[in-house]
Structure 1
Amino acid sequence: MKTNFKSKIVGFTVLFTGLFSATAFSQSTNSPVFTNFVYEGNDKVYTDNPLKPGEFYNPILQGCYPDPSITRKGDDYYLVTSTFAMFPGVPIFHSKDLVNWKQIGHVLDRVSQLEVHDCGISAGIYAPQILYNKNNDTFYMITTEFSGGFGNIVVKTKDPLKGWSDPIKLDFNGIDPSLFFDDNGKAYIIHNDAPDKGKELYNGYRVIKIWEYDVTTDKIIPGTDKIIVDGGVDLSKKPIWIEAPHIYKKDGKYYLMCAEGGTGGWHSEVIFKSDNPKGPYVPAPSNPILTQRHFPKERVNKVDWAGHADLVLGPDNKKYYGVFLAVRPNDKQRVNTGRETFILPVDWSGEFPVFENGLVPMEPKLKMPAGVTENKAGQDGFFSNGNFTFKDDFSAGKLDYRWIGLRGPREDFISTSKQGLKIKPFEANIKEVKPTSTLFYRQMHKTFSFSATIDYKPASEKELAGIVALQSERFNYVFGITKKGADYYILLERTAGKFRSREVESKVVASAKIDLSKPVRLQLAANGDDYQFSYSTNGTDFVTLGGTVSGDILSTDVAGGFTGCLLGLYATAANNTIPE
């Protein structure tokens, strides 16, 4: 796999320009109703490593929650991650102890903040940073929005529970911006950028640049830009993709931490030190301070691609911790769960910080921070991890934050009641670069099942509803009910893009006539790379359609991009797949 797709699409102009209106529904009244949703994860790593008192699982956020950033105000911690073309964007989590996390919403939850309706799934929101500024008691979230003509933006709030401002556009190029607020009130923006024109030495050669930032106008100060890292730790070794910079201040010194090596198998985290926020910065002699790149490909409970980190002082006000992304490949080295959010304690007893056990093969469990006594994962609204079951009958009145849309608001196509979830189908299908009428849940385990009951009778061949497993608009499975002539059919379709081409090939793996006199139970069950789609017309006896199929196209090493597999409840009035 190419190790850093993100940096390679800097400046990329999206080729797709489908226009969309929130009123672009089918005129049909055949809206499917989904009930009795169940997601169940059952990974061997968790059954083999049960938690003991004082322990918690790593990753803390399973599934596609990459590029984590963390900040602290008083005893409150807030964490955000990338979301690309998912809507709403940038989930925000709260914790008091770094162990137990509650999702409190999304930073970008309005169309005025997030315009992703015509971009590929791996465009949109990249590498958000959240940071609290004690000088003006304000939270900032800064990010790159590769869609809607936004570019680099910042949003603000006094209270993350009460919503965020509309985006303020920032006048500089590059990606991965972050803020630093010094004790004297001065502010800075640091980001990844291309080298000066004509000075690129090799593919993957990037620089880190700093600007002074005016917090009263929320603008960079023209003419203050300066390159503070040229290429990476050691330019003579041709380092690649230096990015995701953060500045920290400790004991009067300034520390610049960056990812290096690309968000793939050579990913790492490196650190520099200076007497001034604008440098010069000297790299630590012991870099990298976090990586998993030196270990055998085949290893038990493999964690890989570790990097893109952020540091915060722990609950005891002595120990530092770092959040970062990494992946957990399955036995065929697929990364269907995507890049996830991990945490490790950080040893900063010496001159430079080092992630504890971040340079040896990572373990699935950690000891809780000093003073933390209770693991509440999956209880009282705290986020689940490890093996768990998530059920939803959609009668709560408020949709769980784990449900997301793609390229547009969920509220444009769903309604919930005691009868279940009704999806009003768009005249767009899952293979188009448009908002789709699909409600998604992230795949969070290698071994899992995803099931729901559907009450639906399509009126024509243009109508289809069911479940999907999606890596992108070009790589996905659709398991749905449609019509052909006077008969109802259930079908399984596999869509896969061709290598280094925009062409896409869709193929019906299998189809069968189906009795729709009663609601139908649809199920996807996966064990590593093996996926099975099955259905039941009586609620007990299941029929597998198409046998065992490969999950290869649901992994970034095959499909490319930056997202993990999304599992969806789907309806369309623009079906173009005919049962065989």
Structure 2
Amino acid sequence: MSLLPGLAAQAAESTAPNPIIWADVPDVSVIRVGDSYYMTSTTMHMNPGVPVMKSKDLVNWEIVNYLYDILAAGDKQTLSNGQNLYGQGSWASSIRHHNGKFYVAFASNDVGKTFIFQTTDIEKGPWEKYELAGGVYHDMSLLFDDDGRVYMVYGNGTIRIVELTADATAIKTGGMNKVIIQNASAPGGSGGLGAEGSHVYKINGKYYIFHISWPSGGIRTQLIHRADAIDGQYEGRIALRSGSSTSGAGVAQGGIVDTPDGKWYGMLFQDFGSVGRIPYIIPMTWSEDGWPVFGDVNDTGIAANLSKSWVSSDEFDKQAAPVAAYHTVVASGENDHNGSNLGLVWQWNHNPDNRYWSLTERPGHLRLTTGRTSTSIHNARNTLTQRTFGPESTGTVKIDVSNMKDGDYAGITAFQANYGFVGVKMTGSTKSIVMVNGNSSSATEVAAVPLNQDTVYLRTELDFKNRTDKGYFYYSLDGARWASIGNTLQMSYTLPHFMGYRFGLFNFATKSAGGYVDFDYFRIGEQLEGSNFNTNLKTLQVNGAPLAGFSEGRYEYAVDVPADSAPPRVSATANDPSATVSITQASTIPGAATVAVSSEGLQTTIYTIRFDSPSFIAIEAETAAENTEHAYVSGIIQGHTWSLVDGQMTKAMLFGPDTGFAMTGTDAATLATGAKLGYRINVPVSGNYNLWILAKSVDFNSDSVHVGLNNQYRFTVNGIQGVSNSQFRWVNLSNGGTTVPGGSALALTAGTHELNFWGREDGLIIDRIYLTTSGSTTDPVWPPAEPQAPTTVLTADNSVKPGSTFQVGVGLQHVPQEVYAQDVTLSYSSDVFEYVSAAGATDNVRVVGEDKETAGQVRLITASIGGASVEQALLNVTFRVKAGVSNTSGAIAVTHAELGTAPEGTTVLAIGSSKTIAVGSPDVVIDKTALTEAIASAQALADGAVIGTQPGQYPQAAVDALTEAIAAATAVKENAGATQPQVNEAVDALHTAVETFKAAVVKQASADLNNDGKVNVGDLAMVAYHYGKDANSADWAAAKAADMNFDGKIDIEDLVYVASRLGR
């Protein structure tokens, strides 16, 4: 293992710039222990898993350990039986140090569990592993509180807390387990990604929880919530919403850490295209009221020189120390230690099989032996990886390929879901250097060069500057002269892998196991070098004209030629005038021509040009807006559907509105709820058809679509924006390479099929659709429009009411000359509709004949005085919905239309048309008469009521209650959707309120307090006895009988009232 001098450190600067690691190190969690900082991050499907990095200055980091060598050994982890765990594995760990022990918690999505690993020596182990009940705790964060209690905060959008046992080995029975922040995303804005990525701290007696959110229309945003108690109530605000000088993507997600001298820093990361998610150290201060304040994201503010100790060249001549990770025993022995130790910069794609790699079988070399067969690099085991890095990085290998077997591939890859590699392929007993592009479903051999020796040098170069995201591939036979091979890989960060690109060293078998290769070295560089030896073509012509789409690094072409054409002639010139160019012409159609270029007997490049006469089907996308049996729109999902908008050529179909919505599911149930385009197509010849669309995407959040055939899902394509660039462009959905991955050719049999598109990301516009058996990568040539046949057109409302009379318009389109007479037969659903009458749509059209003898049919003979033009309304035909018909639909169609022209007297048949009309439910009459009268009566009572305490007056509360009851009844009256039972209930409720109101009237008080049948001084004495008491008196229950005026007190007015009635 060696570190290239060029990677040791950047030139000294006053302070280190961000990013501190221009490579994929996401979901960072950092702590300080003494003067050392430790960080864990996410590597998902790579093993060993959960890297532990160490730093002394927060800027320069090296990998010092991992948590585990492997976590499990099922089919997913071993890439067996079609299974994998790409984008799963360990996610978003949380590292903490408490009472001399290190704790790292993380969730594993493939096994559906959450683990806590513990050790007293984070660099040397050993580790203890504990599994928490309850499955996956998403993006959790550990907190050891001052009172000895231990918590884990987690969640997405809704943030929860769960209490652990004091030793942090299990969920505490009966411990805290609750929601602590209901809508944690709110401070950052609505929609988009819910707040997640929790990092919880207790600082100066307050609890702080950091989150990331990604609101609709915004960027990744760092949020902070604060509370005085662990379970809230929390208040939140935006802590940071900023891109960097190199990218507008938001720097967010992570936590904070302090230094021994009391400074604070945030450790966050930024999405940076295909290189992955890259860490930033950001200076942080505290506001006067105790909130974190982040500084400039572009500068760390730390005086240090950046190094790249997290990647390394390797001569494979020195053994590293064994990794001190938790070891999982596998019965097969495939995870047993094999006596070889790789440096910690290396990780295997999925679980390695330690029986089939070695540093000892040939000292100074890494031997990779095939242990089984695979169909692609995606399901091959023992692919050894390191991070790629920006702004530029290169990886070079020297390989001995003398012991490969038939069907083997070995080399170096730029590895992600959409990958490229340069390698050696063994076919029978011959070898060739190949460049391959591939994705999760297919791989394409872009170029092949014969190899006649056992040692080869291979290189991949990656350009991440300004999110360029280009990959280039080279080979050499002597390590000095380098030639480019294949095409340029347009790298793309895809969610299925959820990881930045990796350099990968691989050897896999497609036919039989047992072959092996020896890697002499792997060397990294940080500057693109390109080629210095060129055996490529300078020009390539077909029949003397430059070949469309020619690029010297592209070696495969498909050219469409008219049927029955002679094979075209190919000519070419090389970049190197001294090179030899040999051309083998095509002899048939279909057929192929080859051009071979060689120089100095060392290298040969071969170009292949295939000729064919393809079949095609061309569709105007906007025809779906007409909703006919040939093309239609169906479905609305969360307010989104396909609608008619302006296109480039004519009209087009938009999946909108553009709000950031996405329908990702592809199961039948999900698709059934989606918005779909359907096109009935007539396939002329059976074959594999490539699907192209003339499309425009708004951005990378509007550039995918689901494709189906005969209403069955086939594939999903993404990355349309990479071609569209927000303009209308032809996009090959079947073979879009790494730019537009996911698609494939459609195997169609001759005959009728239905082509389907389900909206996935809103904002995508489709103008035209083109299916072709051609393998050409040049844009389709749209066929010239054919003359359209005369057609009848029916117009009518889509739905009518039961018993109603309605009109159907009959018109003509695309009539090539003046028409003076028409013989039109209309058929209709006689069980639903009945014919009433017909009249000319204009004054010059006269109905001169009518035949309605046949049930469900009417024949109309018309004459057009002065002639009917090419586009004209012809008839207004009146129909009626038959009595008793409702909740159904019926059809009306033109089944025959013969047009008479003049002066020749010839006849023309017009294509018929049809219209389906729905009959709705009978109108339900809601009788609100009683409610209206009740409201008027109650309102009159309320308006005439006098508020007071005198007899005949009403308490204020009684008037208020009646007013509220009137308002409730009025709301029902004004509700157009109110049902008759609701109206009746409102009437009853108001009547009850009126009776209650009437009963509340203040009545004249009786002065006969002693109930002896007369008013005398005895009654007056009782008032005098209670004089001065009020509603607050302890014996008010007894005294209130003396309150003659009901004003809540006994006073002179009550004495006068009784005195005035003495003797009565």
The yes-or-no answer on 1:526 pairing with 2:455 is: no
Query: Is the 8 Å Cα contact of residues 95 and 105 (structure 2) preserved in structure 1?
Result: yes
Query: Is the 8 Å Cα contact of residues 47 and 349 (structure 2) preserved in structure 1?
Result: yes
Match of 1:394 in 2: 316
The yes-or-no answer on 1:488 pairing with 2:450 is: no
CA separation of 1:289 and 1:236: change in aligned 2, threshold 3 A? closer
Task: Provide the rounded CA distance (Å) in 2 between the counterparts of 1:340 and 1:92.
Answer: 16
Task: Provide the rounded CA distance (Å) in 2 between the counterparts of 1:77 and 1:159.
Answer: 14
More helix per residue: 1 or 2? 2
Task: Provide the rounded CA distance (Å) in 1 between the counterparts of 2:301 and 2:24.
Answer: 24
Moved more, 562-571 or 225-234: 225-234
Task: Provide the rounded CA distance (Å) in 1 between the counterparts of 2:188 and 2:501.
Answer: 38
CA separation of 1:38 and 1:408: change in aligned 2, threshold 3 A? farther
Task: Provide the rounded CA distance (Å) in 2 between the counterparts of 1:275 and 1:468.
Answer: 52
Task: Provide the rounded CA distance (Å) in 1 between the counterparts of 2:384 and 2:473.
Answer: 18
Aligned-pair CA distance for 1:564: 0.3
CA separation of 1:511 and 1:421: change in aligned 2, threshold 3 A? same
Match of 1:220 in 2: 171
SS of residue paired to 1:366: coil
Task: Provide the rounded CA distance (Å) in 2 between the counterparts of 1:525 and 1:116.
Answer: 29
The yes-or-no answer on 1:152 pairing with 2:97 is: no
Match of 2:18 in 1: 58
Match of 2:446 in 1: 509
Query: Is the 8 Å Cα contact of residues 396 and 459 (structure 2) preserved in structure 1?
Result: yes
1:536 is aligned, of 476, 495, 499, to: 476
- What CA deviation, in whole Å up to 9, does each residue of 1:15-59 have, x standing for no partner? xxxxxxxxxxxxxxxxxxxx99989889xxx99xx542x422422
RMSD of Structure 2 on Structure 1 (CA)? 3.1
Query: Is the 8 Å Cα contact of residues 47 and 350 (structure 2) preserved in structure 1?
Result: yes
SS of residue paired to 1:336: helix
CA separation of 1:565 and 1:383: change in aligned 2, threshold 3 A? closer
Query: Is the 8 Å Cα contact of residues 309 and 322 (structure 1) preserved in structure 2?
Result: yes
- What CA deviation, in whole Å up to 9, does each residue of 1:217-238 have, x standing for no partner? 6222345211111122428953
SS of residue paired to 2:416: strand
Matches within 5 A, 1:134-283: 134=99, 137-147=100-110, 149-163=111-125, 164-193=127-156, 206-216=157-167, 218-222=169-173, 224-234=176-186, 237-239=189-191, 240-261=193-214, 266-283=219-236
CA separation of 1:264 and 1:225: change in aligned 2, threshold 3 A? farther
Query: Is the 8 Å Cα contact of residues 410 and 439 (structure 1) preserved in structure 2?
Result: no
Matches within 5 A, 1:43-122: 51-52=12-13, 54-111=14-71, 116-118=77-79, 119-122=84-87
SS of residue paired to 2:27: coil
CA separation of 1:178 and 1:218: change in aligned 2, threshold 3 A? same
- What CA deviation, in whole Å up to 9, does each residue of 1:454-513 have, x standing for no partner? 1113544321111111113xx21132112223321111111135xxxxxx2321111121
Task: Provide the rounded CA distance (Å) in 1 between the counterparts of 2:227 and 2:245.
Answer: 39
2:281 is aligned, of 339, 343, 346, to: 343
SS of residue paired to 2:123: helix
Match of 1:353 in 2: 292
SS of residue paired to 2:300: strand
CA separation of 1:433 and 1:448: change in aligned 2, threshold 3 A? closer
SS of residue paired to 1:116: coil
Aligned-pair CA distance for 1:383: 4.6
Aligned-pair CA distance for 1:411: 4.0
Matches within 5 A, 1:268-347: 268-283=221-236, 287-292=237-242, 301-302=246-247, 304-316=249-261, 318-328=262-272, 335-347=273-285
1:366 is aligned, of 300, 321, 327, to: 300
Q: TM-score, normalised by structure 1?
A: 0.75
CA separation of 1:170 and 1:263: change in aligned 2, threshold 3 A? farther
- Identity in percent: 24
Task: Provide the rounded CA distance (Å) in 1 between the counterparts of 2:387 and 2:280.
Answer: 16
Match of 2:707 in 1: none
Task: Provide the rounded CA distance (Å) in 1 between the counterparts of 2:199 and 2:319.
Answer: 40
CA separation of 1:505 and 1:434: change in aligned 2, threshold 3 A? closer
The yes-or-no answer on 1:570 pairing with 2:506 is: yes
CA separation of 1:374 and 1:409: change in aligned 2, threshold 3 A? same
Structure 2 counterpart of 1:392, one-letter code = D
Structure 1 counterpart of 2:182, one-letter code = D
Matches within 5 A, 1:386-465: 390-398=312-320, 399-409=342-352, 411-417=354-360, 418-429=363-374, 431=376, 434=379, 436-457=381-402, 459-465=404-410
Aligned-pair CA distance for 1:67: 0.5
Structure 1 counterpart of 2:167, one-letter code = T
Match of 1:377 in 2: 307
SS of residue paired to 1:436: coil
Query: Is the 8 Å Cα contact of residues 56 and 99 (structure 1) preserved in structure 2?
Result: yes
Query: Is the 8 Å Cα contact of residues 346 and 384 (structure 2) preserved in structure 1?
Result: yes
- What CA deviation, in whole Å up to 9, does each residue of 1:423-444 have, x standing for no partner? 1223254846656221111111
Query: Is the 8 Å Cα contact of residues 38 and 450 (structure 1) preserved in structure 2?
Result: no
Aligned-pair CA distance for 1:272: 1.1
- What CA deviation, in whole Å up to 9, does each residue of 1:290-315 have, x standing for no partner? 2336xxxxx85226242111111123
SS of residue paired to 2:485: strand
Structure 1 counterpart of 2:267, one-letter code = V
Query: Is the 8 Å Cα contact of residues 458 and 482 (structure 1) preserved in structure 2?
Result: no
Match of 1:331 in 2: none
Structure 2 counterpart of 1:107, one-letter code = L
Count the aligned residue pairs. Answer: 478
Q: TM-score, normalised by structure 2?
A: 0.42
Task: Provide the rounded CA distance (Å) in 1 between the counterparts of 2:247 and 2:66.
Answer: 30
Match of 1:199 in 2: none
CA separation of 1:71 and 1:366: change in aligned 2, threshold 3 A? closer
Match of 2:963 in 1: none
SS of residue paired to 1:238: coil
Aligned-pair CA distance for 1:92: 0.5
Task: Provide the rounded CA distance (Å) in 2 between the counterparts of 1:262 and 1:441.
Answer: 33
Task: Provide the rounded CA distance (Å) in 2 between the counterparts of 1:413 and 1:38.
Answer: 28
